[in-house]
Amino acid sequence: MELIFEKSVANHRCTLLPKLDVPLYEIDKSVARDTPFDLPEIAEIDLVRHYTKLSKETFGIDDGFYPLGSCTMKYNPKINETVASLKGFTDISPISSPEDVQGALQVYYESEQVLCEVTGMDHISFQPGAGAHGEFSGLLIIKKYHQSRGDFNRNKIIIPDSAHGTNPASAAMNGFKVITIPSKDGLVDLDELDKVLDDTVAGLMLTNPNTLGLYDSGILEITKKVHSYGGLCYYDGANLNAIMGVCKPGAMGFDCIHLNLHKTFSTPHGGGGPGVGACGCRDFLYPFLMNPRIIKTNKNEYAFEESGLSVGKVTAFYGNFLIVVRTLTYLKHLGCNGLREVSDNAVLNANYLRVKLKDTFNVAFDKICMHEFVLDLSSYKEKYGIRAIDICKRMIDFDMHPPTMYFPLIVHEALMFEPTETEGKQTLDKVVEILKNIAIEAKSGSVDLTKAPYTKSYKRMDEVKAAREPILRYVHEK
Ligand SMILES: *Cc1c(COP(=O)(O)O)cnc(C)c1O
Q: What's the whole-number average pLDDT of the chain?
A: 95
d(CA 289, CA 266): 25
Instruction: Verify whether ligand 1 is closer than 6 Å to residue 275 (CB atom).
Output: yes
Evaluate whether residue 12 is within a structural domain: yes
Q: What is the CATH number of the domain that holds 376?
A: 3.90.1150.10
> Is 473 inside any structural domain?
no
- Summarize pLDDT for 14-56 with one digit per residue, the tens: 877 889 999 999 889 999 998 888 899 999 999 999 999 999 8
Q: Which of 50-64, 108-122, 265-279, 291-305 has the lowest mean pLDDT?
A: 265-279
260 in ligand 1 pocket by Cβ < 6 Å? yes
Residues 353 and 407 in one domain: yes
pLDDT digits (tens, 9 = 90+) for 178-236: 999 999 999 999 999 999 999 999 999 999 999 999 999 999 999 999 999 999 999 99
Closest approach atom of ligand 1 to CA 262: 7
Mean pLDDT for 380-397 is 97
39 versus 177: which is more confidently predicted? 177
pLDDT at 4 over 90: yes
Whether ligand 1 lies within 6 angstroms of the CB of 233 is answered as no
User: What pLDDT, on a 0 to 100 scale, did the predictor assign at position 273?
Assistant: 72
Residue 200 within any structural domain of the chain: yes
Q: Are residues 274 and 324 in the same domain?
A: yes
Cβ neighbourhood burial of 111 (10 Å; 0-12, 13-18, 19+): buried
Q: How far is the CA of 29 from the centre of ligand 1 (A)?
A: 48
**Which CATH number fits the domain that encloses residue 302?**
3.40.640.10
3-state secondary structure 324-391: HHHHHHHHHHHHHHHHHHHHHHHHHHHHHHHHHHCCCCEECCCCCCCCCEEEECHHHHHHHCCCHHHH
Calculate how far, in angstroms, residue 10's C-alpha sits from the geometric centre of ligand 1: 45
* Whether residue 238 has its Cβ less than 6 Å from ligand 1: yes
Cα separation, 241 vs 234, whole angstroms: 17
Mean pLDDT over 78-90 rounds to 97
* Total domains in the fold of the chain: 3
Q: What is the structure's pLDDT at 478?
A: 62
Residues 299 and 411 in one domain: no
**Is the CB of 329 inside a 6 Å radius of any atom of ligand 1?**
no
Is residue 178 a part of any domain in this protein?
Answer: yes
- Do 297 and 426 fall within a single domain? no
φ and ψ at 201, to 5 degrees? -85, 120
Residue 207 Cβ contacting ligand 1 at under 6 Å: yes
Do residue 374 and residue 252 come from a single domain? no
Alpha-carbon dihedral sign for residues 461, 462, 468, 474: negative
Instruction: Say yes or no: 10 and 156 in one domain.
Output: no
Is the pLDDT assigned to residue 84 strictly greater than 90? yes
Give the structural domain span for 3. 1-21+36-57
Residue 475 included in any domain: no
Residue in 72, 73, 133, 164 to alter for ligand 1 test, most ligand atoms within 8 A of Cβ:
164
Taking CA atoms, 143 is separated from 128, 357, 416, in Å, by 17, 44, 33
Looking at the fold, whether 372 and 301 belong to one and the same domain comes out as: no
Whether residues 397 and 259 fall in one domain: no
User: Distance (Å, rounded) from C-alpha 66 to C-alpha 400?
Assistant: 6
Distance 132 CA to ligand 1 centre (A): 6
**Most informative mutation of 139, 166, 212 for ligand 1 (most atoms within 8 A of CB):** 166
Contact predicate 267/85, CB 8 Å: no
**Cα 338 to Cα 310: distance, rounded to the nearest angstrom:** 35
Is 262:76 a contact under the CB 8 Å cutoff?
Answer: no
Q: Is residue 97 part of a domain?
A: yes
For ligand 1, say whether the CB of 349 is within 6 Å of any of its atoms.
no
- Whether residues 215 and 283 share a domain: the answer is yes
Please state, for a pLDDT cut of 70, what percent of the chain lies above it.
Answer: 99
- Is residue 346 assigned to a domain? yes
CB of 71 sitting under 6 A from ligand 1? yes
Query: Which of 292, 221, 252, 256 lies closest to 121 in space, CA to CA?
Result: 256
In a domain, 474, yes or no: no
